[in-house]
Amino acid sequence: MAKVIALTNQKGGVGKTTTCCAVCGGLSEMGKRVLAIDLDPQGNLSFSLGTESEDAYTIYDVFKGNCDIEDAIQHGDICDVISSNILLSGVELELTGVGREYILREQLDTIKDKYDYVILDTPPALSVLTINAYTAADGLVIPMLCEILSLQGIAQLKQTIFAVQRYYNKDLKVEGILLNKYNPRLTLTKDVEDLAGVIAMQLDTKIFKSRISASVCIAEAPAHGESVITYSPKSKSAQEYKAFITELTGERSGAKKK
């Protein structure tokens, strides 16, 4: 049965999609069966994983009932993917029925036995898509930059997480906060890190020991339809992400794909 992990932060540009790609690449390299689901109407994860988002069923079709979730799965080079496109931005207004928060979870229940991990990339907004992700997830990972605005995004996210735990998914766990584009030489980094530690305590979670440094190869990888782990496996960033995956899952990264 798959473990469902959602990457989330209300603030954009904090590395959610990059981290999703890296986690999918690392887990697939370990021989795990991985499904990535793009819940962001911008479709950046779909692009980064090299999948079709126009002439194929997408997660929008799943929410609208145009197809079953299995029909929307594409078999990519890195992992299986359910893509997204701009049509998904209309879901907030189009889904008005009772139980709309449970659509993704109910669909995932039909295919979870086919995967080891399902990785959800969420939009930078507190919408019905985000609520669906939290309701379906076993755990949340919160990427952030060591900047005040990124920290503010987590503070705003906190109340939504508490509400979902209370009303929709009592078993939802915050796995931890991941620091991206980490630069220990900046004074602001330490200040924000300390404040993030306070929020982590309020969420009954931790800041991951793994830190992800800024890197050119992280920016280059999506253009090649790859994760940084497959694009530049010997880079510092790839090694940092592998350490993070081990910390997140408890399994050693780096094994050859089966």
Query: pLDDT of 18-42, one tens digit each?
Result: 999 999 999 999 999 999 999 999 9
Rg (CA), the chain: 17
Query: What angle is formed at CA 18 by the lines to CA 126 and CA 45, rounded to 5 degrees?
Result: 70
How confident is the model at residue 257, as a pLDDT?
44
Domains present along the chain, CATH in parentheses? 3-249 (3.40.50.300)
The better pLDDT of the pair 72, 98 is held by 72
Whose structure tokens read 């496109």? 85
pLDDT band at 253 (very low <50, low <70, confident <90, very high): low
3-state helix, strand, coil in the chain (%, to 5): 45, 15, 35
Phi, psi of 65 (to 5 degrees): 80, 15
Indicate the average pLDDT of the chain: 90
Half-sphere exposure of 131 (CA within 13 A, CB side): 18
The helix/strand/coil state of 75 is: strand
pLDDT higher than 60, residue 5:
yes
Q: Across 150-159, 178-187, 220-229, 240-249, which has the greatest mean pLDDT?
A: 240-249
User: What SS3 class is residue 30?
Assistant: coil
pLDDT, mean of residues 186-209: 87
What are 148-195's pLDDT values in tens digits? Answer: 777 777 877 888 999 999 999 999 999 999 998 888 777 778 888 888
- Amino acid identity, residue 122? T
- 52-72 as b/e: b if 16+ CB within 10 A: ebeebbbbbbbbbeeeebeeb
Burial of 97 by CB count in 10 Å (0-12 exposed, 13-18 middle, 19+ buried)? exposed
Give the pLDDT mean for 70-82: 94
pTM over 0.85: yes
Average pLDDT on 60-69 reads 95
For 84, 131, 164, 256, the CA distances from 169, given in Å and listed in that order, are: 24, 10, 6, 35
